[in-house]
Amino acid sequence: MERNSHADRFAEIIGAGNVLTTPEDKAPFLVEQRDLYRGTAPIVLRPGSTEEVSAVLTYAYENGLKIVPQGGNTGLVGGQIPTETGDEIVLCLGRMNKVRNVDPDGFTITVDAGVVLETLQNEAEKVDRLFPLSLGAQGSCQIGGNISTNAGGTAVLAYGNTRDLVLGLEVVLPNGDIWNGLRTLRKDNTGYDLKQLFIGAEGTLGVITAASLKLFPKPKKLEVAFIGLASPHEALKLFSITKAQAGPVLTGFEILPRIGVEFCLAHLDGARDPLEGTHDWYVLMELSSGSEAFPVRDLMESILGEAFEAGLVEDAAFAQSLSQVKDFWHIRHGMSEVQKHEGGSIKHDVSVPVASIPAFLDKAMAAVREFVPGCRPVPFGHLGDGNIHFNVSQPLGMDKEEYLSKWDAMNTIVHGIVHDFHGSISAEHGIGRLKRDLLKGVKSELELDLMQRVKAAFDPKDLLNPGRVL
């Protein structure tokens, strides 16, 4: 790569100050947050507009330069990190952070891809609306990356994945063409729904530069309970009762193990045990309504009363204030972060049918304990939509690197059990580089061939995020 000449040309397009070439300037863009991937890149580019992205990709396409799109760099499968070969240029969209339009009457918002998720949530709140996507990394992840990975989060039960929140997209194709699909229509049956190809494609088909998104009524009544129970089997029965009574008013149903709560109490600033006693498992349940008149507290009390009578619930605490609501969710959102303080953690982002979660957890936890005696399973996540983050912390006193060397072998065990339950090896984090080679074991030859054909149609030179997903 003729680094100087390319850098000079990119400087003409986006300004010299936005072409990063020194090691210290590039460093934050070259490492994944869990330190699983460290790459090298001759240049990091920070365009400020869709037109600049178009000009960058046009030049890259004409000169055979590989481009790795990057949002907030919070991805967990390595798709946003360049390889170690040094022949990939990072394209960071953080400067593209404008809110283009807010339409509270139409319940839509249109934003640049670099807008941080928390900023987007706040913009919706300013007009008494809700943007429901909620993630632990929402203070730094960007909506373009959320869309590119079809992020899930804690609100999928009520509002769906990111895919379900997108009305339209603006995308720059690998050759620099700009597709303006920023429509805000709820119904549009004029041919193929092209936006869906880019959602979850992890930047392999085009660079998302803007999105039109759905907004929802802001909840006026909210009740959150932290519930102690004996096992996931009771948690599933509680979910069934709650869903039957609450229907769409049920907006959160998360399952947490005691060990995860203990990790939070030890390592998460501000974390407090919500219940006086200890319980093997917990459920964090949220009910909400857009109507002040809806008796949400009465409904919560009715559900938990039935669950207590059925012997499903051991103890429960209602949040008595908005501050306590935040405290309860603080534990849930901090559960992934605190595990790094307990040494090596082998992680699995999997989903199985909701009804199979207890049986899956029983079988998977027994299997990993047999494989690595003394390991500490920390499974948690979205029981309501079937997505469990089946993380396994190293045994106390074990060498971290020795433990992490068992990553692939443990993946094989856990993913095999997921397969037995007709589940998915990637529920919400994507494929990236981490799980790319696993696709052959879970996708048919026809599915893989169709995916390759789509990639070839959009990116025949294989320059945009090459080697990710496929």
Task: Name the packing angle between helices 407-420 and 357-371 (round to 10°).
Answer: 150
Residues whose CB falls within 8 Å of the CB of residue 429, separated by 6 or more in sequence, listed in order:
75, 76, 77, 149, 349
Sheet holding 178-181, edge to edge: 99-103, 108-112, 207-214, 166-172, 178-181
Half-sphere exposure of 417 (CA within 13 A, CB side): 21
Q: What confidence score (pLDDT) does residue 317 get?
A: 97
pLDDT bucket at 80, cuts 50 / 70 / 90: very high
Q: Is the dihedral of CA 262, 135, 395, 416 positive or negative?
A: positive
Average pLDDT of the segment spanning 28-54? 94
pLDDT of residue 3: 56
Specify the pLDDT at position 344. Answer: 96
Query: Is 226's pLDDT higher than 80?
Result: yes
- Given a cut of 70, whether residue 341 has pLDDT beyond it is yes
Shortest CA distance to 140 belongs to which of 325, 345, 337?
337
218 in Cβ contact with 345 (< 8 Å) = no
| Percentage of residues in the chain having pLDDT higher than 90 | 94
CA distance 211 to 164: 13
Query: Is residue 324 over pLDDT 90?
Result: yes
Q: What is the pLDDT of residues 386-412, one digit of tens each?
A: 999 999 999 999 999 999 999 999 999
Residue % of the chain over a pLDDT of 70: 99
- In this structure, of 29-38, 186-195, 307-316, 375-384, the range with the lowest mean pLDDT score is 29-38
pLDDT single digits (tens) 140-187: 999 999 999 999 988 999 999 999 999 999 999 999 999 999 999 999
The per-residue pLDDT of the chain, averaged, comes to 96
Burial, 23: exposed, middle or buried (Cβ in 10 Å; 0-12, 13-18, 19+)?
A: exposed
> What mean pLDDT comes out for the span 77-91?
95
Kindly tell me if the per-residue pLDDT of 33 is higher than 90: no
pLDDT score at 160: 94
The pLDDT-based confidence of 253 (bands split at 50, 70, 90) is very high
pLDDT for 34: 81
pLDDT at position 2 = 56
pLDDT band at 36; cut points 50, 70, 90: confident
Which value, to the nearest 10 degrees, does the dihedral of the CA atoms of residues 118, 119, 120, 122 take? 90
Q: In 121-245, at which residue ranges do the beta strands (DSSP E only) sit?
A: 129-130, 166-172, 178-181, 207-214, 216-217, 221-229
